[in-house]
Structure 1
């Protein structure tokens, strides 16, 4: 099983935005209301969970992005 980074890879950003050049990616992200941070090299960084929610049409918020970790509750199993 392949482990993914918490942020999108450059190839992912290229596929989503349709642009290779970081300044064009930034313009696309701004135009489409995406949140991102810039690296020192001025490349956009987008979180993987955030991107999945945006692509699914879910408006990301602090409530639905930071879901609590769940634990298995066997207390009612008899």
Structure 2
């Protein structure tokens, strides 16, 4: 099983944008309202959680982009 990183791999960006060249990927991401950052080599970097939310039709925000905190509830255990 392949371990996923926090950012999308090059192949994943190609699959989403439909473009091989980073300059075209940047254009597609900008035109479609995606947030990204550029590396020193001018390649776009997109976060994995952000991409999952965008692809699911959810507008990413600071509140829904992080895992929901939970606590262990033992009140029903006898």
What is the TM-score when the length of structure 2 is the normalising length? 0.91
For the aligned residues, what is the CA RMSD? 1.3
How many residue pairs end up in the alignment? 78
Task: Give, in angstroms, the shift of residue 53 of structure 1.
Answer: 0.4
Partner-residue secondary structure (3-state), 2:55: helix
Residue 77 of structure 2: aligned partner: 77
Gaps of 5+ in 1: none
Partner of residue 30, structure 1: 30
> Which is helix-richer, 1 or 2?
1
Structure 1 segments (4+ residues) deviating >3 Å: none
CA distance in 2, matches of 1:14, 1:2: 18
TM value normalised by structure 1: 0.91
Range that drifts further, 53-62 or 68-77: 68-77
2:12 corresponds to 1:12: yes
Gaps of 5+ in 2: none
Q: CA deviation digits over 1:22-59, x for unaligned, max 9?
A: 00000000000000000000000000000000000000
